[in-house]
């Protein structure tokens, strides 16, 4: 998919305005075509509130279109009156008629329209805020600078912890219990539902009810420091059975990756003290400062949405995480030789 800057380059932008009617025509067509292209590409994708994949997002999309439609009608009426005022033959004002226009158009009509739109918006609020049915799955998500701690609560036993990725079964409502470990963050997966703040010392709740499978991008939506932009995650909505298998696999401790290099990587992981910050269940790494790495190799992305999960991505991240996430708390391991970095990357990628 072309990047936005590339898309802009491809647009037939007007560079000949004022050189004649034909050029102006080209310019206008370029503007209209470019605008339509931007609009069309902006409506789709894995992070679009206008391409809903959840019940709450569907309601919010309807609200948007109704508001946009209402605003368009009002705009057309105002522009129409403006044009009429310019083109009409000037004549003396009749005080009574003028008053009618001012009171009617300036007070009564806007009040009526805003009341109708407000009622329409408020009417859907109880549905958007309603908790899911009793017994629905609960997932704790905590925002931290600049990643996401995710814990699947279990009826029996300890929660299953992972990071920077949430998987959900399609067609089932889940309740997210949201909090923060440091500053205010905001949880937002535009394709699935509304946006809600994550506040230190307080729990906020959000219900997501995905209606189709797919990979959807979430993004922190409250400025929270240098790497706010790089605080993303993915929500992977999957068929129920597949989800059950995935969660069962996540519950298991890590299987130690086999092979000479992976074993060397595991030794480096221990020797360099990585376990002081990270947990790898099934080993003596039990740190809780950073993301749980038990199954890091099976995740969709690395560094909370900043890198892929190829070996090179692991190496680059280990070598200098601050290049991808300014002010990140993880130190750079650039003192390791290329061979050591590769071995560590092979070990981490092998944690499936
Ligand atoms: Cu967390 Cu912005």
Q: Please say if the pLDDT value at position 330 is more than 60.
A: yes
Does an H or E element contain 314, and which?
Answer: helix 311-319
Cα–ligand 1 centroid distance for 79 (angstroms): 40
Cα–ligand 1 centroid distance for 322 (angstroms): 16
Q: For residue 225, which atom of ligand 1 is closest to its CA?
A: 2
**SS3 of 218, please?**
strand
CA nearest to 289, candidates 276, 280, 302: 276
Query: What per-residue confidence (pLDDT) applies to 12?
Result: 38
Q: How confident is the model at residue 19 (pLDDT cuts 50, 70, 90)?
A: very low
Residue located nearest, by CA, to atom 1 of ligand 1: 185
Q: For residue 183, which atom of ligand 1 is closest to its CA?
A: 1
Query: What per-residue confidence (pLDDT) applies to 175?
Result: 96
147-166 average pLDDT score: 94
Segment among 8-17, 90-99, 239-248 with least mean pLDDT = 8-17
Q: Please say if the pLDDT value at position 23 is more than 80.
A: no
β-bridge mates for residue 185, sequence order: 198
Q: How confident is the model at residue 34 (pLDDT cuts 50, 70, 90)?
A: low
Q: How confident is the model at residue 270 (pLDDT cuts 50, 70, 90)?
A: very high
Does an H or E element contain 126, and which?
Answer: helix 109-129
Q: How confident is the model at residue 17 (pLDDT cuts 50, 70, 90)?
A: very low
Residue 292 Cα to chain centre, angstroms: 21
Query: What per-residue confidence (pLDDT) applies to 45?
Result: 80
201-257 pLDDT, tens digit each = 999 999 999 999 999 999 999 999 999 999 999 999 999 999 999 999 999 998 888
User: Which of 1-10, 21-30, 169-178 reaches the highest mean pLDDT?
Assistant: 169-178
Cα–ligand 1 centroid distance for 219 (angstroms): 8
Query: What per-residue confidence (pLDDT) applies to 1?
Result: 39
Q: For residue 185, which atom of ligand 1 is closest to its CA?
A: 1
Residue ranges lining ligand 1, Cβ < 6 Å: 143, 146, 185, 220, 222-224, 228, 231
Q: Is the pTM of this model over 0.85?
A: no
C-alpha neighbours within 13 Å on the C-beta side of residue 226: 8
Q: How confident is the model at residue 263 (pLDDT cuts 50, 70, 90)?
A: very high
Cα–ligand 1 centroid distance for 324 (angstroms): 15
Q: For residue 145, which atom of ligand 1 is closest to its CA?
A: 1
Q: Please say if the pLDDT value at position 117 is more than 50.
A: yes
Q: For residue 224, which atom of ligand 1 is closest to its CA?
A: 2
Cα–ligand 1 centroid distance for 144 (angstroms): 8
- Strand pairing category for 174-180 and 204-208: antiparallel
Q: Please say if the pLDDT value at position 337 is more than 60.
A: yes
Neighbouring CB atoms inside 10 A of 78's CB total 11
Query: What per-residue confidence (pLDDT) applies to 159?
Result: 94
Q: DSSP characters for 205-234? A: EEEE-B-S-EEEEEE--S--STTGGG-EEE
Cα–ligand 1 centroid distance for 222 (angstroms): 5
Q: How confident is the model at residue 22 (pLDDT cuts 50, 70, 90)?
A: low
Q: Please say if the pLDDT value at position 43 is more than 80.
A: no
Cα–ligand 1 centroid distance for 188 (angstroms): 10
């Amino acid at each position: 998919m072309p990047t936005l800057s590339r898309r802009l380059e491809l647009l037939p932008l007007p560079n000949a305005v004022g050189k004649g009617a034909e050029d102006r025509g080209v310019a206008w067509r370029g503007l209209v075509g470019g605008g339509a292209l931007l609009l069309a590409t902006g409506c789709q994708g894995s992070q679009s509130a206008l391409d809903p994949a959840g019940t709450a997002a569907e309601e919010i999309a309807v609200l948007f279109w109704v508001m946009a439609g209402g605003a368009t009608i009002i705009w057309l009426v105002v522009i129409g009156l403006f044009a009429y005022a310019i083109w009409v033959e000037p004549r003396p004002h009749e005080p009574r008629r003028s008053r009618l226009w001012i009171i009617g158009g300036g007070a009564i009509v806007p009040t009526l329209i805003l009341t109708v739109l407000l009622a329409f918006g408020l009417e859907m609020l109880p549905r958007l805020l309603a908790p899911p049915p009793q017994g629905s799955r609960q997932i704790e998500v905590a925002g931290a600078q600049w990643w996401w701690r995710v814990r699947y609560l279990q009826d029996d036993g300890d929660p299953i912890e992972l990071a920077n990725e949430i998987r959900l079964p399609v067609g089932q409502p889940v309740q997210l219990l949201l909090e923060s470990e440091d500053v205010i963050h905001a949880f937002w997966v535009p394709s699935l539902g509304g946006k809600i703040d994550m506040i230190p010392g307080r729990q906020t709740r959000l219900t997501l009810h995905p209606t189709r499978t797919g990979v959807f991008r979430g993004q922190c939506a409250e400025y929270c420091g240098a790497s706010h932009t790089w605080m993303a995650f993915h929500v992977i909505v999957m068929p129920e059975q597949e989800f059950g298998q995935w969660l069962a696999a996540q519950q298991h401790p890590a299987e130690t990756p086999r092979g000479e290099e992976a074993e060397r990587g595991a030794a480096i992981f221990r020797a360099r003290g990585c376990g002081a910050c990270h947990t790898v269940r099934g080993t003596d790494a039990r740190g809780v400062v950073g993301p749980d790495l038990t199954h890091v190799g099976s995740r969709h992305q690395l560094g909370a949405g900043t890198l892929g999960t190829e070996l090179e991505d692991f190496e680059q991240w280990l070598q200098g995480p601050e290049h991808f996430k300014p002010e990140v708390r993880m130190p750079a391991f650039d003192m390791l030789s290329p061979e050591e970095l590769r071995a560590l990357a092979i070990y981490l990628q092998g944690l499936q």
